[in-house]
Structure 1
């Protein structure tokens, strides 16, 4: 009886741990592992060993145990990566500084904090150092880090989207350039292939034009202008044909 009871309790613990891992903040591996931000690397190893045995798919009957186990493994690999932890610690430190700044602003005129600073051996700094070891500080740090990591992730995705759009634009531009170059090359090739045909057509045209000029009364291919003649049906006066090309007589000088 007691054995079955403890077995049911263990199953409940396994299911609760699976739900906790899958419901944790996805951008923070410390929360997925269930650790404080100020833990050591040895604590990370011990926690991973403990939780992995608890939610292992071979022992846990939860339908999402495999997914939780994969999330736990990914979180452990991130916490073991020095390059990742260097950047991640920087983000956590910025969030911690924000919490400290808000704390000092909030307790600037707090009489209790002032009295504690007077009594404490380390003064105000000693009071703040002790407060940073409390769960209250860690919860505030956790909330602030979530906000900061979410903003960083949004900026990263936005930048990634812009870079992808720029790459697509460059690819389209290069494809259009290649298309134009191909069309120009094909046009040049076709132009060279039809050179003889064009030259032969021009020669035939010149020869036919030369033959058509033979036997004509045109001087250099230009026709003389038509001469005006007298026409009695019109009211205006026209010069005779003989006088058409005669220059006009100059007017006599002096008074008329």
Structure 2
């Protein structure tokens, strides 16, 4: 019975077995075809990978360009803010008063330019201010004086040594104000990290910037005083050396003059000496003539002694004696 059942099962499902065999053959054919295609076209996958890589590079380049553009915008922010400030006719009086108040200050204070010392920015600022306060167009009092101060400051700013002098004190002034007011540090942003910027940045407000500017003015004033003191000391030393040299030359000239006079009077001195020797010889001869004469004591005569005896001793006797002589 079992054998009959088994035989019946094989004979009953011949179509199913045929279908299974066909499916297996089709799968084998498909796999073989795919392998053959891969062998025949090995660069398809590489092309896809290359296309993907190119797309990624384009995206990275676009991101980098936008990132660098953002950096340029941030670094030039301060200059743009200054340039974008427009001056109206109503600001003329305000600017004239500001310039007159700072006429004894540095040219940077007159122009209101501090950290970003750019000649193009200075020229632009000068052009706007000069047009605004020019005495031919502006009828406000002291406009001519303010314009003269502005022009003089612009001429000084064109000198490289003036700009370098201000740059040298700006960082010192900034550090002094930061230390004095204990300013807080800014958080380091992604751009600074990308640029490897390790400098510590602080929150600089408008009031703090004004304090930094004032500190710059003080440092420049002290620096100017030191330079003037050094120059005065140098001039004083030069004057002292010159005076000493003049005294030395004067003494040498006097000595030379005395030497010439001494040389000129030599013959006269020789003749005088000869005459002196001759006179001494005469005196010596006379001395020898009277050398043997003995000394004799002077004695009074009897008459002289008698007269001395008759001289009165008292005041009364003296008066009587005088009267007798008169008689």
Same fold (TM over 0.5): yes
Match of 2:276 among 205, 213, 230: 205
2:188 equivalent to 1:131: no
Shift of 1:63: 5.0
Give me the CA root mean square deviation.
Answer: 3.3
Deviation at residue 48 of structure 1 after TM alignment: 0.6
Q: Tell me the TM-score normalized by structure 2.
A: 0.52
State which of 264, 282, 286 in structure 2 corresponds to 1:193.
Answer: 264
Q: Distance in 2 between matches of 1:158 and 1:43?
A: 34
What is the match of residue 107 of structure 2? Answer: 29
Q: Deviations over 1:229-251 (max 9, x none)?
A: xxxxxxxxxxxxxxxxxxxxxxx
Residues 16-45 of structure 1: CA deviation (Å, up to 9, x unaligned): 322211211634211111224324221111
8 Å contact from structure 1 (residues 26, 32) kept in 2: no
Q: Which has the higher contact order (CA 8 A, sep 6+)?
A: 1
Query: How do 1:30-69 residues align onto structure 2 when only pairs under 5 Å count?
Result: 30-62=108-140, 64-69=142-147
Moved over 4 A (4+): 120-123, 125-128
Deviates more, 1:79-88 or 1:207-216: 207-216
Q: Which structure is larger by alpha-carbon Rg, 1 or 2?
A: 2
Q: How many corresponding residue pairs?
A: 201
Given that residues 14 and 54 in structure 1 are in contact (C-alpha distance below 8 angstroms), is that contact kept between their aligned partners in structure 2?
A: yes
Structure 1 residue 204: Cα displacement: 0.8
Tell me if the contact between 1:25 and 1:32 (Cα under 8 Å) persists in the aligned partners.
yes
CA separation of 1:15 and 1:184: change in aligned 2, threshold 3 A: farther
Mapped partners of 2:279, 2:286: distance in 1: 14
Say whether residues 1:75 and 2:147 are aligned partners. no
User: Among residues 213, 218, 239, which one is paired with 1:142 in the alignment?
Assistant: 213
Q: Unmatched 5+ residue regions in structure 1?
A: 1-8, 108-112, 227-256
Q: 1:71/1:196 Cα in 2 relative to 1: closer, same or farther (>3 Å)? A: same
Structure 1 stretch 168-177 or stretch 200-209: which is displaced more?
168-177
Alpha-carbon contact 1:96-1:141 (below 8 Å) kept: yes
Match of 1:20 in 2: 98
- Gap regions ≥5 residues in structure 2: 1-87, 295-327
Q: Report the CA distance shift for 1:128/1:214 in structure 2 as closer, same or farther (over 3 A).
A: closer
